[in-house]
Amino acid sequence: MVKVGIVGGSGYVGRELLRLLYIHPEAEVTYVTSRRFKGRPIHSVHFSLRGYYSGIIFSSYSLDKLASLSDVVFLALPHGESLRHVPELLDVGLKVIDLSADFRLKRSEDYERWYGFTHPYPDLLRKAVYGLPELHRKELKGADLIASPGCNATAAILASIPLVSRFGLANNSLIIDVKVGSSEAGYTPTVGSHHPNREGSIRPYSMRGHRHSAEVSQELGRVVGKDLNVSLTPHAVSSIRGVLATVYMFSGEPLDYRNILRAYVEYFKNQAFVRMINPALPPGFPDPKHVLGSNIAEVSVVYDEATEIIKGFAAIDNLVRGAAGQAVQAMNICLGFDEGAGLNYPPLSPA
């Protein structure tokens, strides 16, 4: 039984980690931190967890306690916060799965552009494994530091990776449209993210470049061996959970749709948590509503012969496949557990 610590357990992602790890047959949560709710029981913040974790309260951060009580630590902290903890956690021999963006990018200069700071640990950037199993399953095995991908990046990469792997991109460019629910903005609301302000609204944000486009460019660029131009525009919609990514790829020459579809089917045929959707059969295309609460990603693809544009689609739950679930899946691969441990259950419906 692996002992698990969660640093930053009071937010939405922390709650999902607690929910998933409670049913994990090989894991036991032993230590959970929260600065805001220190000393309070888990269920006093996460009402859905009443009756669970009765022996654990939120604690302040302590390296000594994490080292003595944990084998693996999940960091569910805001961007920039994990930097203060990852080096010391690794130094005491803990495996670290970071759900912030602090170790996702390989080049320190990219942090200056996208996050506004100079990364102090370029050596750890090189060491960290980007935690998307469909791309890095081999590297995840035994990894000491796993950088869990962003939810928008996860959906965008899954929507496009089979095509990029098989055919490349005609002009090295990718256009991505993402629809996201309000929980993506986190536990503490802002004027723009507060759900009453979002209800009934459909609006774009980060129009000049969303941070997750750096992840997509990096990961797909590594597949094709050259830099890619990625334009990702998210749109806030009134749902609470879910991400739907639509990726537009220019083929530059006529393609046979059967070959495109075959590329997707073959790429994902052995992937435990990707479900291919046939556009010719109901429901037709991926929809976050059909994967809510689960670690499943629904993927589909069509080809517009008139414009020679391939359109890839992926739907995920941003809090599970886009965060906590994918992190647990990465832990399972890292430690040699069954990949679906704690995750093999169907989505909620209706939701």
Catalytic annotation present for 151: yes
Give the number of C-alpha atoms closer than 13 A to the C-alpha of residue 73, restricted to the C-beta side: 32
pLDDT digits (tens, 9 = 90+) for 244-273: 999 999 887 888 999 999 999 999 999 999
Catalytic residue among 151, 155, 157, 291: 151
Residue 192 is predicted with a pLDDT of 58
Amino acid at residue number 318: N
pLDDT digits (tens, 9 = 90+) for 144-196: 999 999 999 999 999 999 999 988 877 788 999 999 877 766 656 666 566 67
Residue 190 is predicted with a pLDDT of 63
Please give the C-alpha separations between residue 4 and each of 67, 117, 284, 322, in angstroms, as whole numbers.
10, 30, 40, 20
- At which residue do the structure tokens 């890095």 appear? 136
Q: Is the pLDDT reported for residue 280 higher than 90? A: no
Q: Indicate the average pLDDT of the chain.
A: 92
Percentage of residues of the chain with pLDDT beyond 90: 75
Out of 111-115, 194-198, 309-313, 320-324, least confident range: 194-198
Q: Phi and psi (nearest 5°) for 314?
A: -145, 135
Residue 281 is predicted with a pLDDT of 86
Residue 194 is predicted with a pLDDT of 65
Residue 86 is predicted with a pLDDT of 98
In angstroms and rounded to an integer, the radius of gyration of the C-alpha atoms of the chain is 20
- The domains found in the chain, sorted by start residue, are 2-127 (3.40.50.720), 152-316 (3.30.360.10)
Q: Is 253 exposed, middle or buried, given 0-12, 13-18 or 19+ CB atoms closer than 10 A?
A: exposed
Query: What mean pLDDT is predicted for residues 297-313?
Result: 94
